Amino acid sequence: MRDIFRRIVVVILQWEAKAVLKRYKPSIIGITGTVGKTSTKEAVYTALSQFESVRRSPKSFNSDFGVPLAILGQKGPADVTDMAGWLKVFLEGLIVLIFPHHYPRWLILEIGTDRPGDIRELTQWIKPDVVIVTKLAEVPVHVEAFGSPEDLFAEKAHLVKALKPGGTLILNADDSDVVAFRNYSEERVILFGNSAGSDVSAANYKIIYDDKKIPRGVQFEVFTAGHESEPVTVALSGTLGESHAYHVLAALSVIKLLNENMAAAAKSFSRESPPPGRVRIIEGLKDSIIIDDTYNSSPVAVEEALKILKSVRLPVRGGRRIAILGDMLELGRYTIDAHKNIGKKAAKIADLLAVVGIRSRATVEEARSAGLGESEVFHFDDSIEAGKFMKDLIKKGDIILVKGSQGMRMERVVEELMAHPEDKEKLLVRQDEEWRNR
């Protein structure tokens, strides 16, 4: 019954969304990939909203359910079977449709897929003016629902195929699988990244530390091909990782496309905070530092997070690098090998490793084989147990990476370890009532 009710809701939402698009004719930026969609969406919004009226998908509304909600400017009720809540959403959608509104000039839509056909169905009625492809992981999340990573990539290619005539394809030049998507379209292509031929690139990346040697953010320069002007400097506060440069480069590629002021767009990032759970720096107990990357996980994302942990200087002598990693879900037949590989890589970087979930037993075994001792690797069945145990173990100067798939609820570890848990609703992911009740 729940599935039937959901399907009815989706049909009505999509009908209203199609009608709204037909009436107001906004320009659409569609963002896909297996890594970095949400952060790229936020970066594009930050840059483009300096010049245009813009709406982006709230949170990660990237499905047959979420995309029409984003178009309608709605969040929807917490419970899919809340009939009164949906009647309110439908009514507000009709009001937007029937009565003139100041509808945004641009829509930024995150387009994802959990199973075959998801994007193909959405692109039957969504025709973007700009498509951004972020990154395609070798072992992507949700791959268990597909025959292979290549099948998942082919599903994402439907968004590229849906690009309007005269539209623009913006691709990550440093990912050969992404660059291959240009074969699905004859429209203009803008490449971002550090490979030869990139139209928008970054250099001189560095971590910014305060006078107490605490990392506070990152800075890098952005160069635009074909322009004689000086590069622009981008500073991001409260976050770490060179991966953020890619989100910014994708956003500034849109600015280049529209011939807007690159310096003004670059400056806009200094006023923004990173989204919760996406490599966010949080003050930890006992003067420790938490790198909160708990939004979601996949093999390539964990590898990037471990690189960040390695790159940050320890603020005091005796500080340790600690990785607390939850299971990576929806990997299908790649599960065991992927978790083993993470154990091997983590052993080379972390002084202490804690893992959460049954799949991560493979991580423990490989980490111990790779050199971490019995007293340096810990396994827990759930995130709350892990947080309470690690709370007693951490000390001044420790840098603690916390990451895991959504279903592992690794934000609960961060809540236990953060210096100011009273700020959790502002700083942590999944703090709304729906998630608290799970």
Task: Tell me the mean pLDDT per 10 residues along the chain, length 438.
Answer: 87 96 97 92 97 89 90 86 91 91 95 91 96 88 79 93 98 96 96 95 96 95 79 96 94 97 96 91 98 95 97 96 97 95 98 98 97 96 97 97 97 98 95 78
Nearest Cα to 288, choosing from 171, 164, 161, 391?
391
8 Å CB contact between 421 and 415: yes
Residue 227 has a pLDDT of 56
Residue 144 has a pLDDT of 76
Helix/strand/coil (H/E/C) assignment for every residue in the chain: CHHHHHHHHHHHHHHHHHHHHHHHCCEEEEEECCCCHHHHHHHHHHHHCCCCCEEECCCCCCCCCHHHHHHHCCCCCCCCCCHHHHHHHHHHHHHHHHCCCCCCCEEEEECCCCCCCHHHHHCCCCCCCEEEECCCCCCCCCHHHCCCHHHHHHHHHHHHHCCCCCCEEEEECCCHHHHHHHHHCCCEEEEECCCCCCCEEEEEEEEEECCCCCEEEEEEEEEECCCCCCCEEEEEECECCCHHHHHHHHHHHHHHHCCCCHHHHHHHHHHCCCCCCCCEEEEEHHHCEEEEECCCCCHHHHHHHHHHHHHCCCCCCCCCEEEEEECCCCCHHHHHHHHHHHHHHHHCCCCEEEEECCCCHHHHHHHHHCCCCHHHEEEECCHHHHHHHHHHHCCCCCEEEEECCHHHCCHHHHHHHECCHHHHHHHCCCCCHHHHCC
Question: Which residue segments constitute the domains of the chain, with CATH numbers given?
Answer: 2-271 (3.40.1190.10), 280-430 (3.90.190.20)
Residue 145 has a pLDDT of 77
